[in-house]
């Protein structure tokens, strides 16, 4: 699997290579054939829900867990292949956990210096604390720091040994929303300046999309999609992944080979068609693509499809509007609009949307066997070709986001 371009000035060769990796605990399979390459100097996020295997993958990279099968290489050196196992302290990695795991009885300076030879401690500790914005705090103890400051100390300690790779295990999850955004931006800047290859595991989509050169979405123990954040969001491999990485409207459409017709309008289709061929398709319309106009009672512009507001939620920078489902939609339509909107529940609106859109072919049911009232079992004849799964009693509908 080829990685996306790394960060500015990065070496294009992979710093981390994972091949055919399997790991289970008892009968429970956690990782099932993971392949991953991380270019030197890049920042990659492994994004997945709880139980998807992302933390187990990070622990295998660190050497805390042994894989059942497969190989792990760091900086061109095989560190685990079933026969050879390089211990964590010899892998030249830095590890930052969710809690930070500082030694409570040691000062900030002593925590940072913990893994350094004695002759390197004096000057290097001050430089590292300067880099993470904590100059002058070397004499404090962890309990005298905020949560964000503790995480910066943990990062400084991880960088002290000059690692080839830094592994971040959801280090911002326990911080409040405002502090989390600030600390992760600062941490990202420090790692960029150091040119350190970084692997972050997270379940936070915003975090993964905003920080990363690449995002690897892990699902059911394997990498479902790997690519730049823009591709993961705009060109997901299937509707389930589309719903996981962000809010999504899934609507039925008919693809003519160039454009797709839906209840929201006729759209240009994104360049990557995958297996889509002319016929019924599932269409992805992101909330920011939906445009909402108040219904005009008489005269005026009546472009678009009629809908009714279910609810609105104001977030300052934007508003989320939920609208009663239009024909062909599998759930209420969600629109993301800039700033405050003058819409209330129950009001009538008209909807349009902007393309291009992502499509996937609708699954087709095979010919089934049925029992006629007056005879033996026989094949149900197909009428006008196969029946798309989005029709009939046995329809397989797109995932409900």
pLDDT, tens only, 333-386: 999 998 878 888 988 899 999 989 999 998 654 433 333 334 444 343 343 333
Q: Per-residue pLDDT for 313 more than 90?
A: yes
Predicted confidence band at 272 (pLDDT cuts at 50, 70, 90)? confident
Predicted confidence band at 401 (pLDDT cuts at 50, 70, 90)? low
- 3 state SS of 125: helix
- 3 state SS of 206: helix
Q: What is the rounded distance in angstroms from the CA atom of residue 187 to the CA atom of residue 209? A: 15
pLDDT, tens only, 168-202: 999 888 788 888 888 888 889 989 988 999 999 99
Eight-class DSSP state of 355: S
- The residue that leads in pLDDT, 265 or 1, is 265
pLDDT of residue 302: 64
Phi, psi of 16 (to 5 degrees): -125, 130
Q: Per-residue pLDDT for 3 more than 50?
A: no
pLDDT of residue 172: 86
Predicted confidence band at 303 (pLDDT cuts at 50, 70, 90)? confident
Predicted confidence band at 66 (pLDDT cuts at 50, 70, 90)? very high
Mean pLDDT of 96-109: 88
pLDDT of residue 391: 34
Mean pLDDT of 210-234: 96
- Selection from 146-150, 300-304, 327-331, 363-367 with the highest mean pLDDT: 146-150
Residues paired with 18 in a beta bridge: 36, 72
pLDDT, tens only, 70-91: 999 999 999 999 899 999 999 9
Query: What percent of the chain has pLDDT above 70?
Result: 83
Mean pLDDT of 292-298: 76
- 3 state SS of 199: strand
pTM of the full predicted structure? 0.82
For β-strands 348-353 and 333-338, DSSP reports them as unpaired
Q: Per-residue pLDDT for 283 more than 80?
A: yes
Query: What percent of the chain has pLDDT above 90?
Result: 55
pLDDT of residue 299: 57
What does the mean pLDDT of the chain come to?
84
Mean pLDDT of 98-103: 82
Q: What is the rounded distance in angstroms from the CA atom of residue 71 to the CA atom of residue 61? A: 10
Among 65-79, 87-101, 294-308, 333-347, the least confident range:
294-308
pLDDT of residue 2: 39
> What residue ranges in 50-159 does DSSP mark as E strands?
69-74, 77-80, 93-96
pLDDT of residue 178: 80
pLDDT, tens only, 9-38: 445 578 999 999 999 999 999 999 999 999
pLDDT of residue 216: 97
- 3 state SS of 241: helix
- The residue that leads in pLDDT, 274 or 32, is 32
pLDDT of residue 364: 52
Q: Where are the alpha helices (DSSP H) in 63-214?
A: 108-113, 121-131, 147-160, 177-194, 205-211
- 3 state SS of 173: coil
Among 3-17, 218-232, 311-325, the least confident range:
3-17
Q: Per-residue pLDDT for 45 more than 50?
A: yes
């Amino acid at each position: 699997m080829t990685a996306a371009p790394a960060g500015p000035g990065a070496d294009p060769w992979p710093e981390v290579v994972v091949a055919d990796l399997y790991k289970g605990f008892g009968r429970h399979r956690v990782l099932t054939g993971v392949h991953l390459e991380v270019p030197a100097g890049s920042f990659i996020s492994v994004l997945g829900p709880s139980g998807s295997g992302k933390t187990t993958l990070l622990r295998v990279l660190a050497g805390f867990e042994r894989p059942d099968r497969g190989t792990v290489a760091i900086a061109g050196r095989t560190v685990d292949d079933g026969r050879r196992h390089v211990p964590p302290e010899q892998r030249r990695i830095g590890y930052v956990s969710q809690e930070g795991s500082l030694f409570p009885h040691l000062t900030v300076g002593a925590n940072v210096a913990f893994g350094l030879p004695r002759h390197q401690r004096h000057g290097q500790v001050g430089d590292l604390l300067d880099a993470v914005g904590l100059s002058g705090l070397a004499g404090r103890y962890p309990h005298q720091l905020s949560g964000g400051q503790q995480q910066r100390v943990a990062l400084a300690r991880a960088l002290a040994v000059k690692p080839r790779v830094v592994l971040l295990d959801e280090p911002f999850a326990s911080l409040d929303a405002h502090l989390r955004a600030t600390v992760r931006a600062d941490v990202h800047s420090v790692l960029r300046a150091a040119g350190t290859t970084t692997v972050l595991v997270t379940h936070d989509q915003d975090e993964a999309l905003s920080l990363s050169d690449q995002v690897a979405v892990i699902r059911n123990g394997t990498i479902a999609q790997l690519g730049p954040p823009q591709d993961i969001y705009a060109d997901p491999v299937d509707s389930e992944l589309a719903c996981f990485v962000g809010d999504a409207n899934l609507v039925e459409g008919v693809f003519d080979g160039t454009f797709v017709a839906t209840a929201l309008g006729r759209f240009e289709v994104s360049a990557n068609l995958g297996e889509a061929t002319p016929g019924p398709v599932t269409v992805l319309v992101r909330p920011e693509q939906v445009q909402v106009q108040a219904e005009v009672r008489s005269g005026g512009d009546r472009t678009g499809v009629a809908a009714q507001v279910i609810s609105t939620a104001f977030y300052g920078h934007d508003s989320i509007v939920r609208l009663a489902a239009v024909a062909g939609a599998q759930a209420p339509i969600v629109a993301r609009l800039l700033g405050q909107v003058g819409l209330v529940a129950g009001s009538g609106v008209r909807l349009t949307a902007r393309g291009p859109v992502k499509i996937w072919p609708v699954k087709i049911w095979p010919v089934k066997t049925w029992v006629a009232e007056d005879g033996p079992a026989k094949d149900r004849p197909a009428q006008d070709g196969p029946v798309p799964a989005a029709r009939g009693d046995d329809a397989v509908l797109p995932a409900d986001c």
